[in-house]
């Protein structure tokens, strides 16, 4: 494919220098898995078929609550964001779609934007609306709410924006709208907790009616922030109730940082799947709250357990089971391309480990109430180093064996620092 950001010959040379070592590690792992009754080639095929979307906003530096520290070569518009996402896809071969956010990524020509992405080897995933902040030139403020605002005109403005996102998404080739709602309260008595939900359902139903036949509406919940006393869609219970009321095209989206501390997210996955409402994931990691840290950097075991439930769901799918997977992180101290490459590998690694779980042994242990052997069935898979499988799948798809080393060798960021307009210092969110 022409138009890709990095030199194919350079990637080929990189791989040639590392192939023999990878072949040895892959074959050794294959023999070890064969002794467990697992075909390494079948696992590699499943890994090759798995993909996760990149957020356009994730290609830039995020910011702490107090400051933003931009880096040289950071993207300043959707066109530069697509370039950086194309680098991640070219090297890792697991992130073929991008998820845009409006109005941040607004352009005059969306047909042209779709063609531009395609030339870079990318397609578009779910489109994201933004009613959690006021935009320049916006008629009415969302300070006191958007889809749940007490003022009908504000609600109408928020509804219109979401419908506009659907229309943009149709041109881009998207099939889903993600709605995250920041609406809530910071004081008891600020709003009626019941009436605000009613207003949400009324607004969301109008957006739902605008969905094309083959689209989904993904409802994202969040326990707190920016509202700290109550959030209208605060948990998976509120989300699934709203999705059930709206209709079959409405499903729940799980962001790994949007829960109370120590919540059993893997059980939430199982529950949402049970009722046919598991719509998708925003992958990141968390230490204290909605930290948006790199995926797998804090609790890789939890990520594995989540994927264990997703593999269970794959083996017993319900109608409409087609989760939209996306990375959603804030890169404050790293190069965003490196963080997205690292996170994509962590996600694929968790998936591969879940694939090699001995399901038969797990079922027998569960049926016999053999607690330790049930745990060991999962632990044995989790301990397995599946990185040779991931690297071989990347290699065969045209990616790089060592994605971070190849990215740094390419000099991409340094070149972009010379070409792109510098990003100004930011004040953070306080």
A 10 A CB-CB count for 424 gives 9
Q: If residue 176 lies in a helix (H) or strand (E), which one and from where to where?
A: strand 176-180
Mean pLDDT by 10 residues, the chain (430 residues): 86 98 98 98 98 96 80 95 98 98 97 98 98 94 98 98 98 98 98 98 98 98 96 98 98 96 96 96 95 96 98 90 95 95 98 98 98 98 98 98 98 97 68
Could you give the CA distance from residue 106 to residue 99 in angstroms, rounded to a whole number?
A: 13
Could you give the CA distance from residue 204 to residue 181 in angstroms, rounded to a whole number?
A: 11
Whole-model pTM? 0.96
The pLDDT value given to residue 15: 98
Could you give the CA distance from residue 53 to residue 110 in angstroms, rounded to a whole number?
A: 19
CA distances in angstroms from 299 to 8, 14, 210, 379, listed in the order given: 35, 31, 39, 15
78 phi, psi to nearest 5 deg: -65, -30
| Helix, strand, coil share of the chain (percent; to 5) | 50, 10, 40
Q: Find all residues with CB under 8 Å of 30, minimum gap 6, and list them.
A: 40, 41
Q: Which two tokens stand for residue 228?
A: 């700290």
The pLDDT value given to residue 426: 67
The pLDDT value given to residue 1: 46
The pLDDT value given to residue 356: 98
Could you give the CA distance from residue 273 to residue 254 in angstroms, rounded to a whole number?
A: 12
A 10 A CB-CB count for 12 gives 11
Residue that is written with structure tokens 């605008």 in the block: 210
Could you give the CA distance from residue 218 to residue 204 in angstroms, rounded to a whole number?
A: 11
Cis peptide before 371, with omega less than 30 degrees from 0?
no
55 phi, psi to nearest 5 deg: -85, 135
């Amino acid at each position: 494919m022409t138009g890709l950001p990095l030199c194919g010959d350079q990637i080929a040379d990189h791989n040639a220098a590392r192939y023999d070592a990878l072949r040895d590690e892959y074959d050794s792992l294959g023999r070890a898995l064969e002794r467990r009754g697992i075909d390494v080639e079948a696992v590699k095929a499943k890994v090759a078929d798995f993909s996760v979307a990149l957020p356009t906003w994730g290609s830039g530096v995020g910011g702490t609550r107090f400051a933003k520290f931009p880096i040289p070569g950071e993207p300043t518009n959707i066109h530069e964001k697509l370039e950086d996402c194309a680098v991640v896809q070219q090297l890792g071969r697991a992130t073929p779609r991008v998820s845009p956010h409006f109005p941040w990524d607004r352009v005059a020509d969306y047909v042209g934007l779709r063609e531009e992405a395609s030339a870079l080897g990318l397609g578009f995933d779910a489109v994201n609306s933004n009613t959690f902040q006021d935009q320049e030139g916006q008629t009415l403020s969302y300070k006191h709410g958007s889809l749940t605002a007490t003022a009908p005109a504000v609600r109408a403005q928020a509804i219109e924006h979401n419908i506009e996102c659907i229309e943009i998404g149709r041109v881009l080739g998207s099939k889903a709208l993600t709605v995250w709602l920041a609406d809530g309260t910071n004081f008891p008595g600020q709003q009626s907790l019941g009436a605000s939900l009613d207003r949400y359902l009324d607004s969301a139903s109008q957006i739902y009616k605008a969905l094309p036949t083959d689209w989904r509406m993904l409802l994202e919940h969040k326990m707190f922030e920016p509202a700290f006393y109550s959030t209208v869609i605060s948990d998976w219970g509120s989300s699934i109730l709203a999705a059930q009321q709206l209709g079959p095209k409405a499903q729940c989206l799980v962001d790994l940082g949007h829960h109370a501390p120590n919540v059993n997210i893997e059980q939430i996955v199982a529950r949402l799947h049970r009722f046919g409402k598991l719509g998708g994931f925003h992958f990141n990691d968390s230490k204290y709250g909605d930290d948006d840290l790199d995926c797998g950097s804090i609790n890789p075991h939890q990520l594995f357990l989540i994927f264990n439930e997703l593999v269970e769901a794959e083996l017993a799918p319900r109608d409409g089971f087609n989760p939209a997977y996306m990375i959603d992180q804030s890169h404050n101290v790293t190069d965003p391309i490196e963080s997205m490459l690292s996170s994509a590998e962590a996600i694929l690694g968790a998936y591969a480990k879940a694939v090699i779980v001995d399901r038969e042994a797990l079922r027998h242990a569960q049926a016999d109430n053999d607690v330790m052997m049930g745990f060991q069935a999962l632990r044995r898979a989790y301990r397995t180093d599946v990185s040779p499988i991931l690297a071989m799948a990347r290699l065969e798809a045209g990616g790089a064996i060592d994605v971070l080393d190849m990215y740094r060798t390419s000099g991409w960021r340094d070149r972009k620092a010379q070409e792109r307009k510098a990003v100004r210092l930011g004040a953070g969110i306080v």
